[in-house]
Amino acid sequence: MVKTKKNPRCGIGHQEPERTGGSIGMVVKTYKNADGNIRIEIDYDKCTGAAVCVDVCPSAVFELVKKKATAPNIDACVECCACVQNCPEGAIKHSAC
Ligand code: SF4
Ligand code: SF4
């Protein structure tokens, strides 16, 4: 019978960490309105701070903070999808679009 060596550092076996499918380093900021029926996700790996979302949103939902889009005024969203359709980086996901 062949004996297997234990890890010399701690003497016990180790399990490989489970992969969850998300890519390493990906940062997605999620906003929800007060009613909980509207969700906006902004992918900060993609967002370049182009501010097109700030310009096209008719409800002034977006604001740039440190050259990244935020959606502090999501409660004013009228679900027109202009942000999703016009972001040059495809950085915005919207529950209604
Ligand atoms: S338009 Fe897209 S890339 Fe530009 S600031 Fe908005 S989310 Fe970021
Ligand atoms: S869906 Fe329309 S109103 Fe809502 S955040 Fe996007 S551009 Fe603004």
CB-based contact 12:55 (threshold 8 Å): no
Q: Residue 53 sits in which domain range?
A: 28-94
Which of 39, 61, 73, 85 has the most ligand 2 atoms within 8 A of CB, as the residue to mutate? 61
How many other C-beta atoms are found inside a 10 Å radius of the C-beta of residue 59?
A: 15
Q: Is 33 within a domain? A: yes
pLDDT at 20: 39
pTM of this structure: 0.78
**Dihedral of the CA atoms 50, 51, 56, 57 (nearest 10)?**
140
CA-proximal residue: ligand 2, atom 2 (nearest):
80
CATH number at residue 71: 3.30.70.20
Return d(Cα 88, Cα 72) in angstroms, integer. Answer: 21
Mean pLDDT by 10 residues, the chain (97 residues): 50 44 72 97 97 98 97 98 98 98
Domain-located, residue 9: no
Q: Is residue 6 part of a domain?
A: no
Ligand with minimal distance to 80 CA: 2
Count structural domains, the chain. Answer: 1
With left for phi above 0 and alpha for psi between -120 and 50, is residue 57 left, alpha or beta? Answer: beta
